Every structure is written in structure tokens, then in C-alpha cells.
Amino acid sequence: MSFLAPIAFWFAFTIPVVIVFYLLKRRRVVRVVPSTLLWQRFLAETQASAPFQKLRHNWLLILQLLLLLLAILALARPYLSAKTIGGRTMVVILDTSASMQATDESPSRFEKARIEALRLVDSMHDNDTMYVLQAAASTEVKQSATREKSALRRALQGAAVTDTGTHLKEALKLAETLVQNNSRAEIHLFSDGAVGALDGFDNSGLPLEFHRIGRRANNLAITSLDVRANPENPAQRAVFANVVNFSTNAHQTEIEFRLDDRIVETKPLTLAPGETSPQVFLAGQEHSSGVFSMRLTGKDDLALDDQASVVSLLPQHSKVLLVTGGNRFLEKALRAAQNIELTIAPTVTESSSQFDVVVLDGVVPATWPTGNVLVINVANPAWFEKPGRLDAPPIVDWKGSHPLLRFVSFDNVQIGQSLAVKTPQWAVSLVDSPQTPLILAGELGRQRIVWVGFDTLQSTWPLRISFPIFVANAMDWLSPTAINAAQLAVQAGNPFRLALAQQINSVELTRPDNTTRLLPVDVARGEFVFGETTRQGVYRLKAGTNDVVFCVNLLDSSESNIEPKNELRFGQYSKAATVSLRQANMELWRWIALAGLCVLMVEWWWYHRRTV
């Protein structure tokens, strides 16, 4: 048997004090009585001059000494060592993402997770080793391998919850490398399980113990926010938002539409469990530019995702050059797109640098444009290696979540022939056939590229409503003004980037809490990169003569769905179920305290039995 708090044995010096009280003589009270015949024995005691008397056998004294010994023993926290021996290597992963701010645990899920992690530190053997990792948008090593419990406690106390999503996959990969080839390794994850896909660990045999934090799912959230020109009135701005009820019960709330902290409009909302409610607000010409915010007034367990902000910029016209041998469908689709000044030419000339976007429709230019381009049925040798041809490729999949394919469907679209290429590293495949990507999008250097691998006139696509929608989306995505607006909306945890038009050495940044910092700028890069976007809110940047405002929001459905998970799945076959915290040592103080309570009750009974 060992003791966690042996200093409590100093209380044993109180035992002689109890005995001294029984050695002291009783102090008698003087009373007038008619006769002393029956009081002779007691009078003899009062006449004795010694203050102490002989210690007599007394059950009350024995019971009180036993009670005091049990109390001292309980304070010393004795424990029995478990059957497992020491020498373990433990990795603690503390989830510090946004969902851990939920208040269904008191005071929050994050604080509950930290308390349980500290309990695990207390249960360590002397020869156990532990790492501490903090997992959110990125993984941070808070404490490298150590046996010092004080250092581990400081690392856990120094961890802080963030407003970002969870990239738990990175933390698990790092933990896997730390415990590789170690048969006595344990990975302890303290999380609510609000994470994305964790594939890639199917056959790794990860020694993971998942400590689930959280009790319920009671949350309303704003999961998306966007601002565009009103299709019916370009002078107005339309603000789109999605509100989702992740609770198991219906919720009533109000959604406030604000411009620079001034309420413009309020709507009541009633959402059934699991319901998604799209909301649209219109801002007139007097409210067309500034910071638009949405805010839910209802009470739930996670307040962070009840608000979101977006910067609204006045729409600007883009100069577009269409280089084509003749494509009336494409020309009409471009003319239908908003804020477009269209110029048509048969070839690319030196003046093409004056245009914001160049559209190449089946024309191979002598010199490729350096600006943003939409390329149709043409392969740049610098982009692809040895492109081939493929007849009648079927469309098997497309990424509807990408901005280019918003409201775009490829059902019943047939293609006569397409270029066959491999997806380069700078691009993402948006539309796929079994043998080749059909539409690619990406950024090479600072040039945005949309590549369509087939001739649209040799397909049924121009006859579908999705074709002009795709062209309009492409013009928005390629427009430099749209790129700037997208850069001003940052998801928490992602870096903010700003191309600098003038040479400066530093910028002044004001955070949402109104604290100001002076940050250096790498002049050689010509770009300012700010990565500390772990707090949601409105950031203000002063770069030379330019004042820039950008917004950081959560807007993450997986984080807003705060229902605690009973297990984590690693692909199709592997999973980690939730466990309770295992104590390496079994403490006995509870049983000793119970025994002390029993002795106290016996002492109370014995005292009253004597006095009755």
C-alpha cells in the first residue's frame, strides 16, 4: 500500500490532545443542596488539588481515537497498485476545437476534458512517460515526452480552446509516430467526437482510448453565409444564410440582419429537429457596402456559431475577352452574366493583358494569357503531359460543393469527344469520367484557371440550363473583384492572404477584441500572410495607405453538430468506442471515510446510551 498525500500523517500529533482532554479533571459547578450525605464521593474529587486524574478505561475515548485515526488515514489517500506495471508511453490529445465550448458540461466541455486529463496525469506511475498534444485546426505539441507530473499539469493548464474546426487526423498521425513499435503505448483522446472523416487508420492498430465529453445536442447554427448582387436588382445586395437545428427538439428564435452593428431587419424562425432553413435578406443601395452580420437570438449550448459576418463590396465590372471561332451558345451565356463587359476576337493579341478574364474556345494562342482564363477544348503544354483523345466519355461524378458547380447538374449531358489528361497538382477535378477529368479548376502561381476538356458544341450541355449557370459561376470565380471578396471571408484556422500593391515593411492589425499588433511583412514575397485566425470576428488591417477589413467565421457543420459521438470510425471496418477513465491505482480513502462515518455513529449511540 502506498499513499498519495503522506503529509496528512502530521495530523497524528492531534491524538495526544484528545487523550489530554480525558486526563483533565471535570470542573464542577457549585450548587446549594440540603444534605451532602449522597455527595461524599464527588466532594472528595472536588477537594483534590491535582488538575489531572488517572486515565481510566473509556469506550468513548477509544471510539474517538479510532475515528481520528481513520480520518488521518483517509486524508493520506492510500491506494493499492493496479496489476499493470509502469513503463507506459501515453499520448494525451486534448480537443480544443470550437465544439468544445459547448456548455452542456459545467462550465464547458473543454474544462471537463482538461479535468479528466489531469486525473490521468495523477494516476501515472513513476516510470510512465506522457506527451500532451492540442488538436484543433492544427496540432500543437504542448509537452514533449516527460515523467514530470508538474510539467504535464502546466501543459494542460496552458492549453486554450479555439474557434476553429478539428483536423483530428493530423493529431492521430503524429500520435501514431510517437508510439510506433511500442507495445506499452496508449493514446488518450479527450473529445466530443465532432470531427470529420478519419479514414487511413483501418489496419494501423492504433491503441486509441476515446474519452467522450458531452451530454447532449442542443444547438442552432449558422452554417453558411454569402453576399451577392441581387439577381433582380443589381443595385441591391442579397445576403444568403443557412440556419440548421442540430437539436433533438424544435427551436424558436429570431435572426437579426445587421450592417456594421446596426440592426437592419429581424425575422422569427421556428425549426424542427434537424431542419435547415435558408434565409435571404436584401440590402438597398444605402446599405450596399460594409460588414453584414447574422445573429441568432435564441439560447443553446454553443453560442459561437450563432453569429457570422461577411464583407460586402460594391460590384465592379469585369472586362472579358472571348476568343472563339464562333459559338453562339457561349456568347449568349457570357452576355447574360452580370457585371461583364464582353469583347469578342478571333485571336489573342498583345492587348489581352488589359482584360480581367480571357475565354479561349478551341483556339490555341501563340502566347498564352497570364491573367485568369477559361479554356475550352485546348491543352496548354505547360499544364499537361501528352494529352490524348477519348471518344464519348461518360460523366460519372461531379463536385457540387465547389463554387463553380453551384446549382449545376450534369444529368443527361452527353459528350462526343474529350481531351484525356492527368489531373495536375495545381488543379482539382470537378467533373470526372472513368478515364479522365473533364473539367478542372485551380490556381497556378497567381493565375486562376478553369479548364473544360471537351468542345461544348459537340455535347448536349449548351441545351441544358446548367450551361449558362456554369458560365456565370466561372465569371464570378475568375473575376479579380470576386477573388478579393472571397479572400475577405476566412474560415477560422485558415490563413488570410493579401497581395500588396506597394512595398511596405509592416502592417497594423486590429483583432476582434480591439487589441492592436504591428506585424512584419516579407518584402520579397509581396504578400502578407496572417495565420493566427483562431478567433471568430472582424479583423481590420492597415497596410500602408490601404485599410482592409476581413471576417473570420466558423461555418463548419461538423463542429456545429455537437451531439457527442459514442465511437469514432476509421474507415469501413475500424472504430474506437468511448471508454471511461481507467485509474492505474485504486484509492481506498472512500472506504476508510465510510468506516469513519460508522465509528462516528457508534460513538454517538454510546454517548447517548450512557447519558440516558
CATH number of the structural domain spanning residue 187: 3.40.50.410
- When pLDDT is averaged across residues 151-180 and rounded to a whole number, the result is 93
> Is 131 in the same domain as 32?
no
In a domain, 572, yes or no: yes
Cα separation, 149 vs 125, whole angstroms: 10
> Is 336 in the same domain as 465?
yes
pLDDT tier for residue 16 given thresholds of 50, 70 and 90: confident
- When pLDDT is averaged across residues 165-191 and rounded to a whole number, the result is 90
**pLDDT at position 233 over 80:** no
Considering only residues 84 and 440, tell me which one the structure prediction assigns the higher pLDDT: 440
Span 350-372, pLDDT tens digits? 777 889 999 999 999 988 998 89
> Is 210 in the same domain as 227?
no
Report how far apart, in Å, the C-alpha atoms of 460 and of each of 329, 400, 456, 465, 466 are. Answer: 11, 19, 8, 11, 11
**Residue 569: per-residue pLDDT:** 77
- When pLDDT is averaged across residues 548-568 and rounded to a whole number, the result is 91
pLDDT tier for residue 44 given thresholds of 50, 70 and 90: low
The one-character DSSP state at 260 is T
Cα separation, 120 vs 132, whole angstroms: 12
| pTM (two decimals) | 0.68
The CATH number of residue 241's host domain is: 2.60.40.10
CA 316 to chain centre: 35
> Is 311 in the same domain as 331?
no
> Is 327 in the same domain as 471?
yes
**Residue 29: per-residue pLDDT:** 65
- When pLDDT is averaged across residues 295-312 and rounded to a whole number, the result is 94
Span 497-521, pLDDT tens digits? 888 777 888 999 999 999 999 999 8
pLDDT tier for residue 484 given thresholds of 50, 70 and 90: confident
**Residue 543: per-residue pLDDT:** 86
Angle, alpha carbons 432-433-437 (nearest 5°): 50
**Residue 512: per-residue pLDDT:** 94
Cα separation, 369 vs 14, whole angstroms: 91
> Is 228 in the same domain as 308?
yes
**Residue 52: per-residue pLDDT:** 57
Tell me which of 454, 484, 514 is where a domain ends. 484
- DSSP three-state, residue 160: coil
**pLDDT at position 154 over 80:** yes
Cα separation, 534 vs 96, whole angstroms: 11
**pLDDT at position 25 over 60:** no
Tell me which of 484, 504, 522 is where a domain ends. 484
Considering only residues 32 and 93, tell me which one the structure prediction assigns the higher pLDDT: 93
In a domain, 511, yes or no: no
- When pLDDT is averaged across residues 92-118 and rounded to a whole number, the result is 95
Cα separation, 74 vs 64, whole angstroms: 15
> Is 407 in the same domain as 333?
yes
In a domain, 512, yes or no: no
**Residue 265: per-residue pLDDT:** 92
In a domain, 328, yes or no: yes
- When pLDDT is averaged across residues 97-116 and rounded to a whole number, the result is 95
pLDDT tier for residue 40 given thresholds of 50, 70 and 90: low
Least confident of 208-222, 372-386, 493-507: 493-507
In a domain, 522, yes or no: no
Minimal CA–CA distance to 208: which of 258, 248, 174, 243?
174
In a domain, 495, yes or no: no
Neighbours of 552 (CB within 10 A): 26
Looking at every residue in the chain, the average pLDDT score rounds to: 85
Identify residue 279 by its one-letter amino acid code: Q
In a domain, 516, yes or no: no
> Is 468 in the same domain as 325?
yes
Cα separation, 560 vs 304, whole angstroms: 9
Per-position DSSP letters for 387-416, written without gaps between them:
-EEEESPPP-EE-TTSGGGTT---TT--BS
pLDDT tier for residue 76 given thresholds of 50, 70 and 90: confident
In a domain, 507, yes or no: no
Helices H / strands E in the chain, number of each:
11, 34
- When pLDDT is averaged across residues 115-119 and rounded to a whole number, the result is 94
Cell digits of residue 129: 512517460
> Is 339 in the same domain as 449?
yes
> Is 66 in the same domain as 10?
yes
Query: Exposed, middle or buried by CB within 10 Å (0-12, 13-18, 19+), for 158?
Result: exposed
Beta strands in 159-315 (DSSP E): 185-191, 208-212, 220-230, 233-245, 251-259, 262-271, 276-283, 290-296, 307-312
The CATH number of residue 373's host domain is: 3.40.50.880
Tell me which of 282, 315, 348 is where a domain ends. 315
Domain that holds residue 270: 220-315
pLDDT tier for residue 611 given thresholds of 50, 70 and 90: low
> Is 207 in the same domain as 230?
no
Considering only residues 496 and 15, tell me which one the structure prediction assigns the higher pLDDT: 496
**Residue 46: per-residue pLDDT:** 54
Which residues fall within 8 angstroms of residue 524, CB to CB, at 6 or more apart? none
- Total number of domains in the chain: 4
The one-character DSSP state at 86 is S
**Residue 584: per-residue pLDDT:** 46
> Is 342 in the same domain as 466?
yes
Least confident of 360-364, 471-475, 587-591: 587-591
**Residue 135: per-residue pLDDT:** 94
